[in-house]
Structure 1
């Protein structure tokens, strides 16, 4: 079993050198995660959430004084 894993690892290294992709299979996972993150960041903040944040910001100065 160990010999098979070593051979697969060596094959991965060779494949990475040929393609110039240092992450190999993980590159696709990374691309999908980046795409998901970019989509998430570009979404607008819901109005109700923005209102709650504004209320929290207003409450903080009074909490610090007291």
Structure 2
């Protein structure tokens, strides 16, 4: 008894005429949404303090 497989294996993705990227468009939208949320988050105080200490510890470089 063998069943005919249906589904993702060998299946071509459906493409809407308005959306040439198909499923990739949804992935792109999700990534952009995640990035936008990440960028809008505030920097934690402890992290900002560590960055400030690092900047002070680095030797000043002359710009050429």
Stretches of structure 1 lacking an aligned partner (at least 5 in a row): none
Alignment partners' CA distance in 2, 1:24 and 1:42: 28
Number of corresponding residues: 54
- TM-score, normalising length from structure 2? 0.69
Q: Which runs of 4+ in 1 moved over 3 A?
A: none
- TM-score, normalising length from structure 1? 0.67
Instruction: Tell me how large the CA RMSD over aligned residues is.
Output: 2.3
Stretches of structure 2 lacking an aligned partner (at least 5 in a row): 1-8
- In the other structure, the counterpart of 1:61 is 59
Displacement, 1:45?
0.2
